[in-house]
Amino acid sequence: MDDRRFTSLTQIAQAITGAHWSGPRFFGLRAKVAVSGAAAASGARAQRAAVNARTFEKRVTGMLADA
């Protein structure tokens, strides 16, 4: 086993993944920050747009199948 010593959870997470991570978040000790205000509204708009795009795609696919 490796005898390295780490001084933070972030260092351990980075050693495991090879990428920079928040140690507490990587190990599930800190939840994601809640989104509110304009960012939440923007997210809701994006979700509606995705639903509308899927609906449109289904309609077009159905029209092409009927043709």
Q: Which residues neighbour 21 within 8 Å (Cβ) at sequence distance 6 or greater? A: 10, 13, 14
What CA–CA distance (Å, rounded) separates 24 from 13?
A: 9
For residue 3, the model assigns a pLDDT of 84
Whether the predicted pLDDT of 52 surpasses 80: no
- Section 35-61 average pLDDT: 67
* Reported pTM: 0.43
What CA–CA distance (Å, rounded) separates 9 from 31?
A: 15
What CA–CA distance (Å, rounded) separates 25 from 31?
A: 7
What CA–CA distance (Å, rounded) separates 58 from 52?
A: 10
Listed residue (45, 47, 8) closest to 29, CA to CA? 8
Confidence of residue 27 (pLDDT cuts 50, 70, 90): confident
Whether the predicted pLDDT of 1 surpasses 60: no
- Section 5-18 average pLDDT: 90
